[in-house]
Amino acid sequence: MTTSEIATVIGRRVWDSRGRPTVEAEIRLASGAIGRAIAPAGASMGSGEAVDLRDGGTAFGGYDLTRAVRSVNGEIAALLKGRDPRDQAGIDAALIALDGTPNKARLGGNAMIATSMALAHAAAAEAGEPLWRYLSGGGAIRIPVPEIQIFGGGAHAARRVDIQDFMVMAPGASSFAQALDWTAEVYRAAGLRMKKAGKLQGVADEGGYWPAFGSNEEALDELVAAIADAGFTPGPDIGISLDVAASEFGRNGRYRLTLDDSELDTEGMIDLLGRWLATYPILSVEDPLAEDDEAGFIEFTRRFGASCQVIGDDFLVTNAARVEKAAQKRSATAVLVKPNQAGTLTETKAALDAGKAAGFGTIVSARSGETEDVTICHLAVGWDAGQFKVGSFSRSERMAKWNEMLRIEESLGAEAVFSGKKALGVSKE
């Protein structure tokens, strides 16, 4: 065994931000270098995602994952021992073949992505480089624009409002650090407004305020007001980004809005979002239609793709083939990239690269069930994604990632380049 070969693979059960079990993988090389990573978990999930393998039964409400941990300590460890950690693509392909299912249901997508990310960390540690630099391979390095939740709704807040994420973006900032400064002021202003109005119910899964709004439009009004209260001009300084997560309340071309007690067809849903786009400084809309409504995505992108970013999340599930199809049909202008949706880093990067080839915006994203793991910060920089979505501006599983990105930006010094507004994907025709 050479010093760079994989000596040991360890899987363990750790805990995420919801107090649920998740999988951590640790890879130790013969040289002593170590790579470690933790799998996140989503709340609103696309049907095409890699399987988050759970035990079912009574333990922890069915969320235990002894089978996934056993996958890491058993078959995966046996497969990896003695291999070169720098062969990310080859090992990821071997993991996929070992699992043998189309959705990673046997070994578990959670077991596989934790292992795949730990592998990259181990290779970077062996090279003596931070992961972002190792992944860049000497290519372009930019610090991404952050997309930060202020109000949480949908599946992240017991459907208190229909829309899942009401976020802000500051592409006009001069640096990542300044973008966070601006967002901190908006987050504070929004909390003060809600407290004064008696509408603050706590925080949602991703740390955004859990609101008691009477309508989705009230959330948008309050967000615009919070931007202004913080001393910024809504639009030119700070814009709005929405994650509609329409698959959570829409199917077969019908959309049931709880707050409005109404049901819309595809055209009605597009018209509603169109009115919001005309009224509010919205820069980006994620999953405006349900994942089964491809025609709706195409029509929404045709009408609004030149003026706002149209992101596919549940619709594209970090899948390169789906991204390529979306580019051909012009059903989106950007792709959200979530490593655990794909199940391996190689597949994750393939989806991101397909987005870049299509001229799409690319956004590396966290999940609602997160941990202190900061791997995605390094992916966003090392792969030059341009945009970064983590959640809100509270809770340490979120702040760990914002703070890690600050460290990366600082380490680049004068070489740091902030992506800015040009990182957003919009239709070119």
Q: Would you name the residues annotated as active-site residues?
A: 206, 338
**Sign of the C-alpha dihedral, residues 388, 362, 18, 200?**
positive
The SS3 call for residue 302 is helix
Cα distances (angstroms) measured from residue 238 to each of 179, 213, 369: 9, 22, 27
Name the phi and psi angles at 101, rounded to 5: -120, 160
Q: Which two tokens stand for residue 311?
A: 């992101």
**Sign of the C-alpha dihedral, residues 128, 131, 134, 139?**
negative
**b/e map 138-167, b = 16+ CB within 10 Å:** eeebbbbbbbbbbbbbbbbbeebbbbbbbb
Strands (E), 30-86: 34-38
Rounded Cα distance, 317 and 315, in Å: 6
Q: Which two tokens stand for residue 63?
A: 């969320």
Rounded Cα distance, 379 and 141, in Å: 11
For residue 387, the Cα-to-chain-centroid distance in whole angstroms is: 10
Place of tokens 């720098």: 86
Rounded Cα distance, 378 and 29, in Å: 21
Q: Residues near 179 by Cβ (< 8 Å), separated by ≥ 6?
A: 145, 146, 170, 173, 418
Of 90, 48, 88, 24, nearest to 336 by C-alpha is 48
Of 421, 405, 400, 389, nearest to 149 by C-alpha is 389
CB 151 within 8 A of CB 212: no
Name the phi and psi angles at 360, rounded to 5: -75, 155
The SS3 call for residue 260 is coil
* Residue 116 CB neighbours (<10 A): 28
